[in-house]
């Protein structure tokens, strides 16, 4: 019995000794792990990069020098935006470029220190890596950047030109449409900001899109169902329908000192058997300011088509004045002619006076 008890005591003592030894080994290992980990508290793990620049295995000071050389120094070069044969340049001085080197390196170190001590020690021992690419911290004036982008857009953007007509007294010549160009503003900003952050790619191409006009050459005829030209020198009014000459009329135009106004106008208003609002002018005498109803005393016969500031197209019973410069600015037509023309044009119809 005594021998058995003695053996149990001996076994117990051996276990205690083993536990003490094991704890001692663990303590030594822990201290060693802590010391190993502490020795790398300023070292960046393998696999970590900043802006694509490998900084793994470097301490903070070494990484700072590398970032300054490989990332910051190239940022002192301007960014160029190309479009066709033109180049637009944004200098770092204008943009007030600043790089947060300490922040980038601190983030790289912090990424290397993620996880528990034992996972880091295991990584040290096994040669493992941390897969992390730190975004460059580049600061600049947003106002300067936006001003640069707006300036580019202002120089590149071109409004589309609708198809139109080039009138002469005798015909209408179609002028083809011209597509416009518009910078894709958000895409351009993304590209320039990407170039600002990149030490190697400092040139971008301006992204643009074509802007189609609203009216094409094929649509011109429907845009101009009626068009009038007035040839003052030859006392002729021509009516075009769908850009084709439909009819010519002999007219009277303004006399010297009361010239019919030249230029492009349109039919502003229309009236059947119009009243005459007498202008307040010397030539109207006692009638100035009155409204003359339809009848023998009213010189505006049958129809009225107003075109500009009291001037218009109207019928006349003084057919002897047709083919001359005889009016006070209006265009006179024979009554049958003005009635016929009235039904062929609408308010808004272009009227070009040569």
> Which residues fall within 8 angstroms of residue 65, CB to CB, at 6 or more apart?
none
Helix (H), strand (E), coil (C) string for 267-329: CCEEEECCCEECCCCHHHHHHCCCEECCCCCCCCEEEEEEEECCEEEEEECCHHHCCCEEECC
In the chain, which stretches have pLDDT less than 70? 1-40, 118, 120-127
Q: What is the rounded CA–CA span in Å between residue 270 and residue 307?
A: 9
Apex CA 117: angle with CA 116 and CA 119, to 5°?
Answer: 70
CA distances from 202 to 78, 82, 94, 106 (A): 7, 11, 15, 26
Alpha carbon 90 to its chain centroid, in Å, reads 19
Q: What is the rounded CA–CA span in Å between residue 319 and residue 251?
A: 9
From the list 181, 183, 205, the residue with the least C-alpha distance to 192 is 205
From the list 138, 133, 134, 135, the residue with the least C-alpha distance to 76 is 138
pLDDT computed for residue 33 by the predictor: 47
Q: Domains in the chain, please, with CATH?
A: 224-353 (2.40.440.10)
pLDDT computed for residue 74 by the predictor: 78
pLDDT computed for residue 15 by the predictor: 64
Q: Residue 249: enclosing H or E segment and its boundaries?
A: strand 244-250
Taking only the tens place, the pLDDT of each residue in 268-293 is 999 999 999 888 887 877 777 788 89
Tell me the β-bridge partners of 231: 236
Q: Is 77 helix (H, G, I), strand (E, B) or coil?
A: coil
- CB 150, CB 81: distance < 8 Å: no
Number of C-beta neighbours around residue 332 at 10 A: 28
Q: What is the rounded CA–CA span in Å between residue 14 and residue 205?
A: 79
From the list 239, 266, 264, the residue with the least C-alpha distance to 171 is 239
Report pTM: 0.60
pLDDT computed for residue 284 by the predictor: 77
Q: What is the rounded CA–CA span in Å between residue 50 and residue 341?
A: 79
- Greatest C-alpha distance within the chain: 159
Q: Is 75 helix (H, G, I), strand (E, B) or coil?
A: helix
């Amino acid at each position: 019995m005594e021998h058995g008890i003695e053996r149990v005591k001996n076994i117990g003592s051996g276990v205690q000794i083993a536990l003490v030894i094991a704890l001692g080994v663990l303590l030594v290992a822990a201290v060693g792990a802590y010391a190993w980990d502490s020795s790398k508290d300023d070292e960046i793990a393998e696999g970590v990069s900043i802006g694509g620049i490998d900084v793994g295995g470097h301490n903070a000071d070494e990484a700072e020098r590398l970032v300054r050389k490989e990332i910051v120094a190239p940022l002192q070069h301007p960014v160029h935006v190309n479009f066709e044969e033109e180049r637009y340049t944004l200098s770092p001085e204008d943009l007030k470029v600043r790089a947060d080197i300490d922040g980038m390196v601190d983030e790289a170190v912090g990424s290397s220190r993620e996880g528990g001590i034992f996972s880091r020690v295991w990584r040290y021992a096994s040669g493992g890596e941390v897969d992390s690419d730190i975004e460059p911290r580049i600061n600049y004036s947003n106002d300067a950047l936006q001003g640069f982008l707006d300036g580019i857009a202002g120089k590149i953007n071109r409004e589309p030109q609708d198809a139109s007509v080039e009138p002469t007294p005798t015909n209408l010549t179609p002028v083809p449409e011209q597509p416009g160009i518009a910078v894709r503003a958000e895409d351009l900003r993304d590209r320039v900001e990407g170039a600002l952050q990149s030490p190697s790619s400092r040139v971008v191409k301006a992204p643009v899109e074509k802007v189609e006009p609203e009216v094409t050459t094929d649509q011109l005829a429907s845009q101009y169902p009626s068009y009038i030209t007035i040839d003052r020198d030859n006392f002729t009014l021509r009516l075009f329908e769908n850009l084709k000459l439909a009819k010519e009329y002999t007219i009277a135009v303004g006399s010297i000192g009361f010239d019919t106004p030249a230029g492009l106008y349109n039919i502003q208003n229309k009236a059947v058997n119009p009243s005459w609002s007498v202008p307040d002018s010397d030539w109207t005498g006692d009638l100035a300011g009155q409204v003359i109803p339809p009848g023998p005393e009213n010189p505006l016969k049958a129809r009225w088509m107003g075109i500009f500031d009291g001037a218009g197209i109207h019928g006349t019973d003084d057919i002897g004045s047709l083919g001359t410069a005889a009016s006070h600015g209006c265009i006179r037509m024979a009554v049958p002619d003005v009635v016929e023309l009235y039904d062929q044009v609408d308010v808004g119809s272009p009227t070009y006076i040569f």
